[in-house]
Amino acid sequence: MRHGPWQERRFECVDGPVKKVLPGAACKRRLGQAHERPRAPRRPGTKRRDSRMMEAIWAGAPVSLPGSRFQFLSIESDPPMPSPSSFLREAIEMAVQNVTTGQGGPFAALVVRDGEIVGRGTNVVTTLNDPTAHAEVTAIRRACDALDDFELAGCTLYATCEPCPMCLGAAYWARLDRVYYAATQEDAAEAGFDDHHIYEEMAKPPTERQIPMDQALSEEANRPFEAWLDYEDRVAY
């Protein structure tokens, strides 16, 4: 699916004698293409507006329809963004394809900025032998690569499933604006992907976790931080 750029211009009709603003109407066109005719309020018996009026609307100028008491006031507006559902549907289709082509687990994700997909990812854990190759991480990596940035502020993540703790952390590190997901943790657990225990582990003190975590060398541990703080050309993130 391609979400190409397009322009929209709304306009209102002002009834001259009674100064009543009629409900706004809209016309839209894809960039580089001929415009569509407007879906404007039309009085019974009148003909379609001529192209000169359309050109005036696109030029942003108020225009009167010949022989009409209505005046059309052009209003610039932002084009509506594709809905979250449309991106989630695309991700779900990617996830299904990922399974049926043997690429990996039933997960996919998209990173979107300003209505444009800037990163796509599917779960490729088993094909890459990479336990971190979850769909969200893959999509975030590709988006960062495409945008040549280590932050994704202004971007939204669309995931077919509620992110696991690793991917949730990745979303925060990437400074994503927002996350939409379709299936829940519980849905994933029913399919054999239960990450609830990881959330539970995170809430425990390190020494009480299933994977033992022990601290050592606390005296020398700050050397990397000292090096970082001393390094004048460091790139903060």
Which residue ranges make up the site for Zn ion (CB under 5 A)?
Answer: 134, 164, 166-167
Q: What count of residues does the chain have? A: 237
> Shortest Cβ distance from residue 205 to Zn ion (Å)?
24
Q: Which is nearer to Zn ion, 81 or 166 (CB)?
A: 166
Q: What's the maximum distance between 2 C-alpha atoms anywhere in the chain?
A: 88
CB of 102 to Zn ion, least distance (A): 20
Q: Could you give the angle at the alpha carbon of 109 between the alpha carbons of 103 and 114, nearest 5°?
A: 140
Q: Which of 136, 208, 219, 232 is catalytic?
A: 136
Q: How far is the CB of 159 from Zn ion (least distance, A)?
A: 8
Pair 65, 73: CB distance under 8 Å: no
Note if 136 is an active site residue. Answer: yes
Nearer to Zn ion, 134 or 142 (CB): 134
Residues 20 and 124: their CA atoms lie apart, in Å, by 59
Nearer to Zn ion, 74 or 156 (CB): 156
Residue type, 74: S
For Zn ion, the closer of residues 96 and 198 by Cβ is 198
The full DSSP string for 60-82 is T--EE-TT-SEEEEEEE-PPPPP
Closest separation in Å from C-beta 101 to Zn ion: 20
Give the residue from 1, 191, 155 showing the smallest Cα distance to 89.
Answer: 1
- Quote the CA–CA distance of 164 and 96 in Å, as a whole number: 19
Among all residues, which ones are annotated catalytic?
Answer: 136
